[in-house]
């Protein structure tokens, strides 16, 4: 039985892609929080390193966010039709 048939058998219907994105956003959510939390702490300890900290924050945020966005795009790659 496919995943959709299994879910429909227990009366869960809806867009599997949206559920997939929701699951994909858990990890990057935690990751981005860690990046900016630690970055804020570092900024508080040493405000003169603001430029260095900010550029590292942006780099880390973007690498983390990529996974959430791939999760957003995958349901369009494999549409349910």
Partner 1 sequence: MSADPTTVLAFETDCHIFDGCGFPAPGLHSFVFEPMFTLGGIEINKPMLLAVLSTVVVVGFFWAAFNKPKLVPGKLQMVAEAGYDFIRTGVVYETLGKREGKKYVPLMVSLFFFIWIMNLWAIIPFAQFPVVSVIGFPVALAAIVYVLWVSLTFKRHGFVGGWKNISGYDPSIGPALPFVMVIEIMSNLLIRPFTHAVRLFANMFAGHVLLLIFTIASWYLLNGIGIAYAGVSFVMVILMTAFELFIQALQAYVFVLLACNYIQGALAEHH
**Interface residue list for partner 1 (CB under 8 A):** 55, 58-59, 62, 65-66, 69-70, 72-73, 76, 79
Question: 6 or 59: whose CB is closer to partner 1?
Answer: 59
Residue identified by tokens 């990890």 is 27
Residue identified by tokens 């959430």 is 68
Q: Where are the alpha helices (DSSP H) in the chain?
A: 3-9, 16-24, 26-45, 50-77
Spatial CA neighbour of 71 closest among 27, 9, 36, 12: 27
Least distance from C-beta 6 to partner 1, angstroms? 26
Question: 11 or 13: whose CB is closer to partner 1?
Answer: 13
Least distance from C-beta 34 to partner 1, angstroms? 19
3-state secondary structure of 45: helix
Least distance from C-beta 62 to partner 1, angstroms? 4
Question: 44 or 76: whose CB is closer to partner 1?
Answer: 76
């Amino acid at each position: 039985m496919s995943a959709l048939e299994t879910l429909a058998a227990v009366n869960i219907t809806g867009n599997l892609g949206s559920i997939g994105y929701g699951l994909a956003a858990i990890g990057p959510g935690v990751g981005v929080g860690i990046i900016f939390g630690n970055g804020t702490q570092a900024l508080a300890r040493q405000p003169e390193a603001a430029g260095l900290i900010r550029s590292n924050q942006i780099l880390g945020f973007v690498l983390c966010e990529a996974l959430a966005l791939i999760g957003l795009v995958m349901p369009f790659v494999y549409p349910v039709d």
